[in-house]
Structure 1
Amino acid sequence: MAVDIRTQGLQKPVSVAEYLFARLYEIGIRSVHGVPGDFNLVALDFLPKAKLKWVGSVNELNAAYAADGYARTNGIGALITTFGVGELSAMNGIAGSFSEHVPVVHIVGCPSTVSQRNGMLLHHTLGNGDFSVFANMSSQVTCELAKLNKPAEIADQIDNALRECWIRSRPVYLMLPTDMVEKKIEGARLDQPIDLSEPPNDPEREDYVVDVVLRYLHAAKNPVMLVDACAIRHRVLGEVRDLIEKTKLPVFVTPMGKGAIDESSPTYGGVYAGTGSQPGVAERVESSDLVLSIGALKSDFNTTGFSYRTSQLKTIDFHSTHCVVRYSEYPGVTMRGVLRKVTERVDVGKLAKQHEVTKVVNEVAENRDSSDTITQAFFWPRVGEYLKENDIVVTETGTANFGIWETKYPRGVTGVTQILWGSIGWSLPAAQGAALAAKDMGVDRRTILFVGDGSFQLTCQEVAVMIRHNLKITIFLIYNEGFTIERFIHGMEAEYNDISRWQYTEVPTVFGASDKQVRKFIVKTKHELEKLLTDKEFNEAGGLQFVELWMPKEDAPRALRITTEVAARNNAKAE
């Protein structure tokens, strides 16, 4: 048998697929979402050797949504699709991960390098011999793109892409040709883990920024902290909590930052989102003479239509790539190092005495009335009494994303939302990914999903994947006859905001669940809801639980009403 001289010098020859999947396992991935296709099938054979579990997704869009949910819980996720038809189906989900700073590794099985060089007229192509067109599309929604075409470079490409995915907390794209899957590369490199540490700031520049921050902080009379999504995504919550613990500053979260801070903390004040905030929260944040803003993503739905009434002159912004003190920007000085040094060096004796934070929490008692109808105003505060420590709470774009602002989270709850990208239907697969991540991590956590009936219809097949993997998920399907958020933006009675009436609780049965695998409930009144939420077995959430929850068609959370009014005005604006 002929010897390949290109592999003779390798200390530990391993195939490209073995190397790639070993690295995925090393960085914490245990399950890989995706759909099989002829250009990725041989690669999939190598997953078990790396102790990776193949999820077996129902379609590529759901796979991308699920990998996103997995990453938000686990820290990083992965999916495998096939060239062209598969990767394009997944691109919406990948774009959402890019938009919201979620690290997902997207591996695309593609035609052989020979086929590509010869411009062959293959299936899944555009028929024009261009094999780069889909990668070029993906380059706009990934932070690193690597075509694994040359064995001598592949190990470096894989390691670099995974490092970038982790550090920049955004998706990466790996294009794996069929004839590269079993090529041998240096496996000895696997003895050395990938360096996932962030590059440190230049010490002098970092110290200068810290000094400036401390000067304003020590001089402030009533400073507050505002924690947003990128504090979670870029993993600085430890630094944030240390700063809170030392300074005892009042701290607020944005809707995208909900879950970042322990809401039972004496310094926690509530959710700030401009005019969508509870009045007491808005008054406290907007009257502050210094806002320490950490990881801000000031999108329209995260700020109730850009309605912040805070001044940049009174704001210090900490980001993953730079810091901004008032109007002075410091490129390349990242927040982790600055936050650590601010905590170390802050003189607590120089800080203004803080008044006790007035908590603005909607108590259920405030929203009880003589009616037995389940209203949005009643439901979301009541959910706060049902939640337990360390739950994973997933909310869909629409009523759930806005209603959850009024829900008090117990300690350790992970909030999973998609407020910036806002792709309808995302939450169901994301809940599957989040629950699977918890299972892979070996932790016993309830995963609770709140999804509207309209959104559910877009991605309902994901229930089949939940059943297949025996995941512990409780689904609250809000039955209110259509696309509520769209109704409030425009077209309350318009036909295009209506949907077909499904027998929702029968969906798990259609997808193969036995009576032992799923518990089903239809809840139409407060009395029925109370009975369910206090039921011991329901609270234990031993498997899949499906609740069809009836709410009025023209009812919506307070924050959604305010936000959609702004959205409607913005949509109507002319130049």
Structure 2
Amino acid sequence: MHSTTCTVGDYLLLRLKEMGVKHIFGVPGDFNLGFLDQIEAMDHLEWIGNCNELNAAYAADGYARINGIAALVTTFGVGELSAINGIAGSYAEQLPVVKITGSPATNVANSGAYVHHTLGDGDFTHFNKMFKEVTVAQTTLTEENAAEEIDRVLQECWLYKRPVYINLPSDISYKKIEAPKSPLHLPEFTSETGQLNTFLKLALQKINQAKFPVILADYEVNRYQLNEKLKAFVNQSGFPVASLSMGKGVIDETHPQFIGVYTGSLSDPYVRSRIEDADCILSIGVKLTDSLTGGFTHQLDEDKLIEIHPSYAKINQETFDKVSMSDLLELLTEGVEPRDIDTQNIQPFCRRETADEFVPTDKPLTQERFWKQLNSFLNKEDVLLAEQGTAFFGTSQMVLPEKSTFIGQPLWGSIGYTLPSLLGTQIADPNRRNILVIGDGSFQLTAQELSTILKNQLKPIIILINNDGYVVERAIHGPNEKYNDINMWKYSRLPEVLDMGENSISMVAANEKEFADALHLADSQDKLVFIEVTMERLDVPELLDALGKVFAKQNAY
């Protein structure tokens, strides 16, 4: 028989397992050690210790992008504040991460004692208040409220796809409470019938009357895992479809109706004209930010827009606050009048961008040629991570193979995010090939997590662009200023230093043929592959060069 009681800590872990969490990231500290014992004792749940709490938060973010939800544990004060930047990024980009803080015992907090990891003022609520700004729900657990509060915040995390904060005092973790009687209900957004029918009637009328309709889809579709419903609508409609770079890969980029990535005035001319000249724009899961729209240079006429978001929609500048994207995609697919693809004059992205086979030369690597060469290396189902710098703007113009996943952080844009995120994505699905492209400046911020990747015997391909400093900043301001310089490292030797089990291989490439040889070798290795590529410090992708000028003007003093 199953026990009718369990500890508070076990209750939380059982609920996390129900939601699909198989690994928990974090760093030990004396206020969470008892809870870590419970994690270690729990079947089918693995502790992944990180080098620091910021990296743990980044890893959890990456894990959530592949797994659908993630969890991390830190200690009170010093640990949780180290993690808060990563949690803020998950909040901004809508990733469901459960942040658990092991805190001093209840009687210690109630007494106001000046214990370590506090501000020495007897107030134990400071950090909880800080997390209220970057989480959708918060709680401090007690013996009396634990079951109800755990369920509540986890349901909020699932519904809104944003982080939640759970404060778990060290003495509460082992208190006995009633065990769960039934699985946790995972809520979804539902539509109010009247609003749904009214919106649907207006939308179908606008769509079916349009001569040049287009679909612009983005990351919110990914967060709510509605990609198949989007694909069904695209297939049924026959409309051309584009994405923004935050949702790159939201639909198969080899799809014959996919025309490319829209970036405002910096877009490919064909993509820009198809989007901005359309007489009906179905904006599905889109958030218009500066780095996605060429510095707000998009031209999307509100009178032509139909906006669809996970829990609301807009048409004719009227908001319907109780209609769900899931319902709307299904009903629009049923009601749309299909267009003949052959008469839509669609120029597929994959045919425009991959017309010629890449032939490597002895010439030094350049940004323009590097991305084309890397694109030819990608396979189906790859996970491609791109650091928010030269890497992101280079990869955003690549064609993703079928069923591949693209991961970047263009809204929050926290430098160094992707290396720890790689740990999370690869842990979430070790059977998929993970490829990270990261700059030298970003790498130096979170390089320690290479140690954790090696410790867990993961086998990603890491491509480090050594272009001598903060090149994305050079593209905006101060191309030759000292503040954009960094200390040069012998990057290719780091895996050997951190690898005690010969689980890695490193290479350096300065020209196209050397890079081709490195990629060929990487394809045959059953270990982590680290490729350092060297490029000229002021060479940047064309899109970054253009956006850097926009940002420079925007930031002018």
- State the distance in 2 between where 1:362 and 1:521 align: 28
Deviation (angstroms), 1:311: 0.8
Secondary structure of the 1:522 match is: strand
Task: Determine helix, strand or coil for the equivalent of 2:289.
Answer: coil
CA distance in 2: counterparts of 1:498 and 1:513, whole angstroms: 31
Tell whether 2:21 aligns with 1:29.
yes
Q: Does 1:69 align with 2:62?
A: yes
Which residue of the partner structure matches residue 509 of structure 2? 523
Give the residue type in structure 2 aligned to 1:14. C
1:219, 1:351 within 8 Å by CA — same for their partners in 2? no
State the partner residue of 1:5: none
Q: Is the 8 A contact 1:31 1:55 kept in 2?
A: yes
Displacement of 1:284 after TM fit? Answer: 1.4
* 1:400 equivalenced with 2:391 (yes/no): yes
Aligned AA (2:444): Q
* Match of residue 221 from structure 2: 231
Question: Superposition pairs for residues 444-463 of structure 1, below 5 Å?
Answer: 444-463=431-450
Tell me by how many angstroms 1:539 deviates: 1.3
Offset, 1:113: 1.3
Counterpart position of 1:495: 482
Matches within 5 A, 1:79-228: 79-149=72-142, 151-187=143-179, 189=180, 191-228=181-218
Contact 1:217/1:351, CA 8 A, preserved across alignment: no
Partners of 2:28 and 2:339 in 1: how far apart? 61
Percent of aligned pairs with the same amino acid: 39
- What secondary structure does 1:406 align onto? coil
> How far apart are residue 221 of structure 1 and its match?
0.5
Q: TM-score, normalised by structure 1?
A: 0.93
Q: Tell me the secondary structure at the aligned position of residue 389 of structure 1.
A: coil
Distance 1:99 1:487, change over 3 A: same
Question: Partner of 1:179: helix, strand, or coil?
Answer: coil
Of residues 223-232 and 95-104 in structure 1, the stretch that sits farther from structure 2 once superposed is: 223-232
Aligned-partner Cα distance in 1 for 2:316–2:525:
48
Counterpart-to-counterpart distance in 1, 2:78 and 2:238: 53
Residue 424 of structure 1 aligns with an amino acid whose one-letter code is: I
Partner of residue 469, structure 2: 482
Cα distance in 2, alignment partners of residues 280 and 347 from structure 1: 25
Deviation at 1:159, TM superposition (A): 1.0
Unaligned runs of 5+ in 2: none
Equivalent-residue separation in structure 2 for 1:240 and 1:358 (angstroms): 18
* Cα deviation, residue 276, structure 1: 2.1
Contact 1:61 1:91 in 2 (8 A): yes
Return the letter of the residue paired with 1:382: Q
- What does residue 283 of structure 2 align with? 293
Partner of 2:248: 258
| Residue 321 of structure 1, CA deviation | 2.8
Instruction: Note closer, same or farther for the CA distance 1:298–1:376 as it changes in structure 2 (3 Å cut).
Output: same
Superposed displacement of residue 156, structure 1: 1.1
1:553 partner SS:
coil
> Could you tell me how far apart the structure 1 residues matched to 2:362 and 2:273 are?
32
TM-superposed deviation, 1:472: 1.4
Residues 75 and 372 from structure 1, CA distance in 2 versus in 1: closer, same or farther, beyond 3 angstroms?
same
Contact 1:252/1:272, CA 8 A, preserved across alignment? yes
User: Structure 1 regions of 5+ residues with no counterpart?
Assistant: 1-9
Match of 2:551 among 556, 560, 567: 567
Quote how far apart the aligned CAs of 1:371 are. 6.8
RMSD: 1.9
- Mapped contact 2:141–2:167 kept (Cα < 8 A): yes
Matched residue SS, 2:151: helix
Q: Alignment partner for residue 437 of structure 1, among 425, 428, 431?
A: 428
**Is the 8 Å Cα contact of residues 16 and 180 (structure 1) preserved in structure 2?**
yes
One-letter amino acid of the structure 1 residue matched with residue 123 of structure 2: D
Q: Which residue of 2 aligns with 1:546?
A: 530
Task: Name the CA distance, whole Å, in 1 between partners of 2:150 and 2:408.
Answer: 29
Q: List per-residue Cα deviations over 1:232-252 (Å, max 9, x = no partner).
A: 112221221110121121111
Distance in 2 between the 1:513 and 1:544 partners?
13
Alignment of 1:238-387 (within 5 A): 238-348=228-338, 354-359=344-349, 361-363=352-354, 365=356, 372-387=363-378
Q: Hey, what does 1:389 align to over in structure 2?
A: 380
How far does residue 356 in structure 1 lie from its aligned partner after superposition?
2.8
CA apart distance, 1:336: 1.6
For the 8 Å contact 1:25–1:50, the answer to whether it is kept is no
Distance 1:85 1:558, change over 3 A: same
Residue aligning to 1:464: 451
SS of the residue corresponding to residue 394 of structure 1 reads strand
Q: Distance in 1 between matches of 2:516 and 2:358?
A: 14
Q: What is residue 13 of structure 1 aligned with on the other side?
A: 5
Q: CA deviation at 1:358?
A: 4.5
Deviating more after overlay: 384-393 vs 330-339: 330-339
Map Cα deviations across residues 75-125 of structure 1 (whole Å, 9 max, x no partner). 111100000000000000000000000110000000111111111111000
Aligned to 1:41: 33
The code of the aligned residue for 2:8 comes to V
For 2:432 and 2:348, how far apart are their aligned partners in 1? 31
- Say whether the 8 Å CA contact 2:390–2:540 is kept in structure 1: yes
Post-superposition offset of 1:332: 2.6
CA distance in 1, matches of 2:315, 2:23: 42
Contact 2:189 2:324 in 1 (8 A): no
Q: Secondary structure at the match of 1:174?
A: strand
- Aligned equivalents of 2:212, 2:401: Cα separation in 1: 27
Tell me how far 1:381 sits from its aligned partner.
2.0
Give the whole-Å Cα distance in 2 for the aligned partners of 1:518 and 1:213.
54
Task: Give the secondary-structure state (helix, strand or coil) at the position aligned to 2:144.
Answer: helix
Q: For the structure 1 residues 289 and 352, does the alpha-carbon distance in structure 2 shift closer, same or farther, using more than 3 Å as the test?
A: farther
CA contact (8 A) 2:158 2:187 kept: no
Q: Is the 8 Å Cα contact of residues 161 and 172 (structure 1) preserved in structure 2? A: yes
Whether the 8 Å CA contact 1:18–1:49 is kept in 2: the answer is no
Distance across 2 between alignment mates of 1:148 and 1:60: 22
Residue correspondences, number: 554
Per-residue CA shift, 1:130-176, capped at 9, x if unaligned?
11110000000000101102x22211111111111111000000000
Report if aligned partners of 2:195, 2:322 keep a CA contact under 8 Å in 1: no
Whole-angstrom CA distance in 2 between matches of 1:206 and 1:399: 43
CA separation in 2, counterparts of 1:193 and 1:385? 45
Q: By how many angstroms is 1:366 displaced?
A: 9.4
